[in-house]
Structure 1
């Protein structure tokens, strides 16, 4: 790995779950393509918890925030910041974790690509509190 950072991937989940999962997977591939190790709690916990049950959704968010504390950066991916992403952003600022804003276009070009496909390094914009 080039940099070897552990980066927390934040992107929308609710709504178009199928499309949002594909987007999150592409964001993870983008991070891997830059030599980083992605963590995407919203790809993990919905496999065990029911996001439509408020208590389970809250538990998944809390566990994700705990994972965020072990990460080098938070990547906010896409064109909108969901409520869950807003919580992740606040926690990153609270913990002094650097935040990067990853444009939708940088991720979208990797959608539908399997993990073995070509990945190009992409630039990103910083987000400050």
Structure 2
């Protein structure tokens, strides 16, 4: 715990999350915020750094085309702001999909495209021309 040493940091963290969402007709939109901090002794950090991880801001907009099950929305996007380096990263993307609702399950199929809109001076990774195709089948608990 907390993770595999080959792929995760061996430290704990803490933080908060908040969401603002609104539905208006066929539109669904909102904003999600996450801020986490490393649970380390601040005296052990290098000068000019803090225990704050980048602020995550995830805006989303979705539109349903009537009762057809067809929809479009922003892709899974998380804009990041680094407090330590005063840097901003903003991905952008779009998703088109269709949901079939059955009596005891549902099927969601979508395709998505993502890229980076603002990434100048961003020290972290930035996506370029990412394509995604997804099929999700949902089975309710307690069949």
Instruction: Report the structure, 1 or 2, having the larger helix content.
Output: 1
Q: TM-score range by the shorter chain?
A: under 0.3
Instruction: Report the structure, 1 or 2, having the larger strand content.
Output: 2
- Looking at both structures, which has the greater relative contact order when contacts are Cα pairs under 8 Å and sequence separation is at least 6? 1
Structure of larger gyration radius: 2
| TM-score, normalised with respect to structure 1 | 0.27
| TM-score, normalised with respect to structure 2 | 0.25
